[in-house]
Amino acid sequence: MRPATSPLPAPGPDPLRADARRNRERILTAAREVFAERGIDVPLTAVARRAGVGMATLHRRFPTKESLITAVFHEQFTACVAVIDAGLADPDPWRGFNTVLVEGFALLAADRGFSAAVTSAFPDAVGTGTERRRAFDGFATLTRSAQASGRLRPDFSPTDLGLLVAAVNGVTTLLPGDAAAVSRLVSYLIDALETRPDRGPDGRCGTTGR
Amino acid sequence: MRPATSPLPAPGPDPLRADARRNRERILTAAREVFAERGIDVPLTAVARRAGVGMATLHRRFPTKESLITAVFHEQFTACVAVIDAGLADPDPWRGFNTVLVEGFALLAADRGFSAAVTSAFPDAVGTGTERRRAFDGFATLTRSAQASGRLRPDFSPTDLGLLVAAVNGVTTLLPGDAAAVSRLVSYLIDALETRPDRGPDGRCGTTGR
The yes-or-no verdict on residue B6 having pLDDT over 80 is: no
Render pLDDT for B181-208 as a digit per residue (tens, 0 to 9). Answer: 999 999 999 999 999 876 654 334 443 3
Q: Are B160 and A181 within 8 A, CB to CB?
A: no
Nearest to A163 among B184, B191, B205 (CB): B184
Query: Coil, strand or helix: which one is A154?
Result: coil
The yes-or-no verdict on residue B124 having pLDDT over 50 is: no
Q: Are A51 and A126 within 8 A, CB to CB?
A: no
Which chain B residues touch A if contact means CB-CB below 8 Å?
115-116, 119-120, 160, 162-163, 165-175, 181, 184-185, 188-189, 191-193, 196-198, 205-206, 210
Which chain A residues touch B if contact means CB-CB below 8 Å?
115-116, 119-120, 160, 162-163, 165-175, 181, 184-185, 188-189, 191-193, 196-198, 205-206, 210
In this prediction the pTM is: 0.72
* A38-49: average pLDDT: 88
Cβ neighbours of A126 (radius 10 Å): 7
A184 contacts on B by Cβ (under 8 Å): 160, 163
Which region holds residue A196: left if phi is over 0, alpha if psi is between -120 and 50, else beta?
A: beta
- CA A114 vs. chain centroid, Å, equals 5
Query: Choosing among B198, B199, B210, which should be mutated to test the A contact, i.e. which has the most A CBs within 10 A?
Result: B198
Cβ neighbours of A9 (radius 10 Å): 11
Structure ipTM = 0.71
| B173/A171 Cβ within 8 A | no
Q: What is the DSSP string of B77-145?
A: HHHHHHHHHHHHH-SSHHHHHHHHHHHHHHHHHT-HHHHHHHHHHTTT-TT--HHHHHHHHHHHHHHHH
CA B1 to chain A, closest CA, distance in angstroms equals 39
CA A209 to chain B, closest CA, distance in angstroms equals 10
Q: Of the given ranges (A42-46, A72-76, B152-156), which has the lowest mean pLDDT?
A: A72-76
User: What confidence tier does A153 reach under pLDDT thresholds 50, 70, 90?
Assistant: very high
Q: How open is the CA angle B184-B199-B167, to the nearest 5 degrees?
A: 30
Q: Are A115 and A167 within 8 A, CB to CB?
A: no
pLDDT value of position B204? 40
| B192/A189 Cβ within 8 A | yes
* B32 or B126, which is more confident: B32
The yes-or-no verdict on residue B3 having pLDDT over 90 is: no
pLDDT value of position B144? 97
| A181/B163 Cβ within 8 A | yes
CA B22 to chain A, closest CA, distance in angstroms equals 33
**Average pLDDT value over all residues in chain B:** 81
Query: Coil, strand or helix: which one is A129?
Result: coil
| B210/A198 Cβ within 8 A | yes
- CA A161 vs. chain centroid, Å, equals 11
Q: Return the percent helix, strand and coil in chain A, to nearest 5.
A: 65, 0, 30
pLDDT value of position A135? 82
Render pLDDT for A48-100 as a digit per residue (tens, 0 to 9). Answer: 999 999 999 999 999 988 888 878 887 777 888 899 999 999 999 999 999 99
CA A54 to chain B, closest CA, distance in angstroms equals 25
Interatomic CA distance for residues B164 and A100, integer angstroms? 21
Q: Are A167 and B173 within 8 A, CB to CB?
A: no
Q: Are B11 and B17 within 8 A, CB to CB?
A: no
Nearest CA in chain B to A179: B163
